[in-house]
Structure 1
């Protein structure tokens, strides 16, 4: 029977390496022509994560745990390096040393995802497959903020004439901001909130909201691919945000299953 740490490690690397590669592409597209050094660095990260994906294809769920742990360390370092690059870009932007088409919140957003990826690999190498009950709320705060950010980015990248879609994006942004605040409140009530019924209700509520946003992203992706709406949204970015919503739903299911085992 495959080792669950191996299975989960390969899954995390498969998903997040592609995300990191796409982040690098989006950053490079947002830089101006005079920011060639930053563009070149982004391209280097695209190549790095393509190599990781190629190496990943050599492993299977039956691979040796020690080999996977060594691979995790290698990918962890790549995740840390791209986090450093993203934070450098954010610093340059906030200090007005560069002006690009990359929103500061977007750069912060993708750096948070790099940090999450690195931390997951570290946890897996420590034998931590699923978070403890007290960490479930914190991880949901992370993903709820990611979803809220996505809604904000979509709203700002749609053409202003797409009034109905812009308003829908704003509503999703507001709804997920409220869910973030609700999760923070619940987190502050620990340990009293660390009961299975309360956590299950919390996860169920999140699942409904994320599924609704996922469907909105799916529709937006299809409309963008068919050139039926006006926006500055790259088709790959639309698909990127859709996949992250799908991922959050999978993680909620994973959390629910882990709660049932406790």
Structure 2
């Protein structure tokens, strides 16, 4: 009964968080196209509508919803996430082949497609009954999110006005720090610790948590300054909040993995 309840609550949490992220990705991509790319803009807008409908459907479910109904909902959302992933990869190909001129960085489009692929995989895992993380999951998940955080730092540095020298320098420092954490995580992934209780995983998570908290606080400051029009940048206010929420999500995931390690090694 506990696993059934956990399946429902985790499914709804993943869909609630990532559907909003997918909807915002579609908005950001649409804003970056030129006026000539009408079809791409229309496709992006259709994804905004699609994920808004999914968000509305979420209101019909709760922690006591029928698990079979949630499984069917997950399949529906899976199809939407897979579709936006394919759209993002198509846009990336157009940019790399110089078939369109876009204000969306190629790395940003690739970044958003990786998040769509992550969402697709999470839904697949949930419907397969995979609820509890294993050691490999901890490392792989951190590799994914450390890359996301490194990307965010690069985007922020490039979208700030060059005259915001102190903030640009801070973003570059975060980019370097998270690149190093990513390389370290990839080395650990190659070593593949065999036990969830391996002490190295505790240290790994602690180190990452400290860095992510610092980055999240930097993003929060940047978001608040952008909202108050106190810094010069090309960063959309919603994008500033978007990257803040993703950092906060990473901290939540680290906390979950730390709790799992603690329960396995009382």
TM-score (structure 1 length as normaliser) = 0.98
- Quick check: 1:198 aligned with 2:200? yes
- Corresponding position: 1:189 with 2:191: yes
Question: What is the CA-CA distance between 1:186 and the residue it aligns to?
Answer: 1.0
| Map of 1:108 onto structure 2 | 110
- 1:184 shift after superposition: 0.7
Q: Does 1:243 align with 2:245?
A: yes
Superimposed CA distance per residue, residues 126-162 of structure 1 (whole angstroms, 9 cap, x where no aligned partner): 1111321122101100000000000000000000000
Q: Secondary structure at the match of 2:161?
A: coil
Matching residue of 2:76: 74
Offset at 1:189?
Answer: 1.3
How far apart are residue 188 of structure 1 and its match? 1.3
Residue 196 (structure 2) pairs with residue 215 (structure 1) = no
1:24–1:43 Cα contact (<8 Å) kept: yes
Distance 2:192 2:32 in 1: 42
Q: 1:192 to 1:65 in 2, by over 3 A?
A: closer
Q: Distance in 1 between matches of 2:63 and 2:196?
A: 33
Deviation at 1:190, TM superposition (A): 1.9
CA distance in 2, matches of 1:59, 1:191: 38
Whole-angstrom CA distance in 2 between matches of 1:122 and 1:193: 25
Q: Residue in 1 aligned with 2:262?
A: 260
The equivalences for 1:107-256 within 5 A come to 107-191=109-193, 195-256=197-258
**CA offsets, 1:32-91, max 9 Å, x none?**
000010000000000000000000110001000000000000000100000000000000
Flag structure 1 segments of 5+ consecutive residues without an equivalent.
none
The answer to whether the 8 Å contact 2:197/2:261 transfers is no
Mapped to 2, the partners of 1:57 and 1:64 lie a distance apart of: 14
Question: Using the alignment, how far apart are the partners of 2:196 and 2:258 within structure 1?
Answer: 14
2:100 corresponding residue in structure 1 = 98
Which of residues 88, 91, 95 in structure 1 aligns to 2:90? 88
1:151-205 deviations in whole A, cap 9, x for unaligned? 0000000000000000000000000000000001111112367543111110010
Q: Alpha-carbon deviation of 1:259? A: 1.6
**CA apart distance, 1:261:** 2.7
Q: Is the 8 A contact 1:187 1:193 kept in 2?
A: no
- Tell me the matched-pair count: 262
Cα distance 1:96–1:193, how it changes in 2: closer, same or farther (>3 A)?
farther
Gaps of 5+ in 2: none
Instruction: Tell me which moved more, 236-245 or 131-140.
Output: 131-140
Q: Write the mapping of 1:11-26 to structure 2, written as runs, cut at 5 A.
A: 11-26=13-28
The 8 Å contact of residues 186 and 193 in structure 1, kept in 2 or not, is answered as no
Contact 2:135 2:194 in 1 (8 A): no
> Counterparts of 1:168 and 1:153 in 2: how far apart (Å)?
12
Distance 1:122 1:85 in 2: 20
Moved more, 41-50 or 181-190: 181-190
Residues of 2 paired with 1:101 and 1:131: CA distance? 38
